[in-house]
């Protein structure tokens, strides 16, 4: 089946289902058709019997055709139709009549005659005497009825199969045509630089798949745009400190440097190192995976360890309100990076103080600096998207991407009394 086209597989599968259904129905329906035909035969025999019983002796019908015969015993006289012996022998007749001893007014049954043909008969006896009437017929009516109805049913099923096959063929060709069109579009995406749009408004699974591929195409374009912007920003951000370092190194070489030149080179080297570290942190997120189980990270320990590293770098007051036994799901080293970036952002903008509050399911880092721009209040920070006083544009993007990976919520709030709060909360689950 692997080498058979999908349209042919669908067509063959449904055709096979139809054929199996037809055969199964035939096995179920044909015996039932025969049973109905036999019931109809006994009803016909009863009609004949009623007609014969109402006839006067002199006017008894004589059925010359080979369909119905009778034997009538009335007033101790046995009357035979002309064709009775075509259906039954005298010994078989005596055997049937002996059933008169059974307490029945009407006996209907079937038997095999000398020619091994099936004979249907109806035996009626009088309630007050030994009078009886035996009416017989062969299986010709049953066979005609069964054969005719079965043929009609088979023709109907054949017509259904032909019509269904035609509809299936048209539908499968249309369906596979859509698949081939989607395949051609996917193969052409790299050649078209992901610029070519694809539209399929169908609500079926293939339509949903097409919409997902279109969404992926847009995301690839956005990622490519982000990468181009990142490369441009990286070259620009690295260019300035490298140029300063080069110029002062050349001054040292020419013996023209003053006492502060070395410190300037160290400062620019530190700036360059920080930029490289941020860049490495951001790209390391590409390799984050949940192959190993998420840990329960003690956030109080993380915050205190980061504050210990920054104690000589922060020139404003730091207030702490850290609750014990607060754990976030994730990896410790990544939460250290998150807190470092948030604290680095806070110390850059804070005027007089930074406040860190850790409670169950929530970490808030506040600084009393200027309000953040409206565009950043949703907490989505794109790489190299800087505020008006931003440095490198990667710190908060690292925070956003890391917390999103761990399923945490991240929000930014301009406080009414002044300052900005960066808030991490555990996602609510039902």
Higher pLDDT, 392 or 164: 164
pLDDT exceeds 70 at position 118 = yes
Return the CATH class of domain 290-426: alpha beta
Q: Is 166 helix (H, G, I), strand (E, B) or coil?
A: helix
Angstrom distances, CA of residue 328 to CA of 232, 235, 236, 345, 361: 36, 36, 37, 22, 7
Q: What pLDDT is stored for residue 7 in this prediction?
A: 63
Higher pLDDT, 384 or 54: 54
For the chain, the distance separating the N- and C-terminal CA atoms, rounded to the nearest angstrom, is 45
pLDDT 10s digits, 27-61: 777 778 888 888 888 998 888 888 888 776 656 77
Q: What is the mean pLDDT of residues 166-177?
A: 81
pLDDT exceeds 70 at position 194 = yes
Identify any residues that bridge with 121 across adjacent strands, giving them in sequence order.
Answer: 109, 136
- Measured distance CA(26)–CA(20) in Å, rounded: 10
pLDDT 10s digits, 206-256: 788 888 888 888 888 887 777 776 676 667 667 777 888 888 888 888 777
Domain boundaries, given as residue ranges, for the chain: 1-188, 205-283, 290-426
Q: What pLDDT is stored for residue 233 in this prediction?
A: 64
pLDDT bucket at 357, cuts 50 / 70 / 90? very high
pLDDT bucket at 298, cuts 50 / 70 / 90? very high
Q: What is the mean pLDDT of residues 385-389?
A: 50
Q: 43 and 111 in contact (C-beta within 8 Å)?
A: no
pLDDT exceeds 70 at position 135 = yes
Comparing CA positions, the residue from 96, 183, 92, 82 lying closest to residue 132 is 96
pLDDT exceeds 60 at position 74 = yes
% of the chain residues with pLDDT over 70? 83
Look-up of token digits 């539209």: 199
Least reliable range by pLDDT among 137-151, 269-283, 365-379, 409-423: 269-283
Domain 205-283 CATH (choose: 1.10.10, 1.10.287, 3.90.25, 1.10.3470): 1.10.287
Mean pLDDT of the chain: 80
DSSP 188-251: HTTTTTT---------SHHHHHHHHHHHHHHHHHHHHHHHHHHHHHHHHHHHHHHHHHHHHHHH
pLDDT exceeds 70 at position 103 = no
Least reliable range by pLDDT among 76-90, 191-205, 260-274, 366-380: 366-380
Least reliable range by pLDDT among 5-9, 75-79, 350-354, 401-405: 5-9
Higher pLDDT, 266 or 392: 266
Q: What pLDDT is stored for residue 367 in this prediction?
A: 92
Q: What pLDDT is stored for residue 213 in this prediction?
A: 87
Higher pLDDT, 285 or 108: 108
pLDDT 10s digits, 248-281: 888 888 777 777 788 888 877 877 777 777 666 6
pLDDT bucket at 177, cuts 50 / 70 / 90? confident
pLDDT 10s digits, 299-344: 999 999 988 888 888 888 889 899 998 999 888 888 888 898 888 8
Q: What pLDDT is stored for residue 429 in this prediction?
A: 43
Cα atoms in the 13 Å half-sphere on the side-chain side of 345: 28
């Amino acid at each position: 089946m692997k080498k058979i086209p999908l349209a042919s597989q669908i067509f063959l599968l449904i055709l096979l289902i139809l054929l199996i259904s037809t055969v199964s129905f035939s096995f179920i329906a044909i015996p039932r058709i025969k049973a109905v035909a036999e019931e109809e035969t006994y009803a016909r025999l009863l009609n004949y019997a009623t007609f014969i019983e109402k006839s006067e002796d002199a006017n008894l019908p004589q059925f010359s055709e080979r369909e119905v015969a009778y034997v009538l015993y009335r007033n101790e006289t046995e009357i035979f139709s002309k064709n009775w012996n075509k259906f039954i022998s005298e010994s078989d007749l005596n055997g049937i009549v002996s059933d008169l001893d059974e307490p029945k007014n009407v006996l209907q049954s079937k038997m095999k005659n000398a020619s091994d043909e099936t004979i249907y008969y109806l035996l009626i006896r009088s309630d007050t005497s030994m009078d009886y009437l035996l009416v017989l017929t062969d299986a010709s009516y049953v066979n005609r009825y069964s054969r005719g109805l079965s043929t009609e049913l088979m023709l109907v099923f054949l017509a259904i199969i032909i019509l269904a096959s035609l509809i299936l063929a048209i539908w499968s060709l249309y369906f596979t045509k859509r698949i081939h069109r989607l395949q051609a579009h996917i193969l052409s995406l790299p050649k078209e630089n992901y610029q070519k749009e694809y539209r399929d408004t169908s609500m079926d699974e293939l339509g949903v798949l097409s919409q997902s591929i279109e969404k992926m195409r847009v995301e690839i374009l956005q990622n490519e745009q982000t990468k181009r912007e990142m490369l441009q920003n990286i070259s620009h951000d690295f260019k300035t400190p490298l140029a300063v370092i080069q110029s002062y190194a050349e001054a040292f070489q020419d013996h023209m440097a003053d006492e502060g030149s070395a410190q300037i080179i160290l400062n620019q080297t530190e700036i360059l190192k920080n930029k490289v570290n941020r860049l490495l942190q951001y790209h390391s997120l590409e390799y984050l995976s949940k192959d190993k189980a998420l840990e329960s990270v003690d956030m109080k320990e993380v915050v205190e360890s980061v504050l210990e590293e920054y104690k000589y770098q922060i020139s404003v007051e730091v207030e702490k309100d850290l609750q014990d036994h607060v754990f976030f799901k994730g990896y410790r080293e990544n939460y250290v990076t998150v807190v470092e970036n948030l604290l680095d952002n806070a110390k850059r903008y804070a005027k007089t103080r930074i406040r860190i509050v850790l409670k169950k399911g929530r970490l808030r880092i506040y600084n009393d600096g200027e309000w953040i721009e409206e565009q950043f209040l949703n907490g989505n920070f794109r790489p190299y998207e800087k505020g008006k006083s931003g440095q490198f544009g990667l710190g908060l993007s690292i925070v956003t991407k890391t917390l999103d990976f761990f399923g945490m919520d991240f929000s930014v709030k301009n406080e009414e009394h002044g300052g900005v709060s960066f808030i991490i909360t555990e996602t609510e689950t039902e």
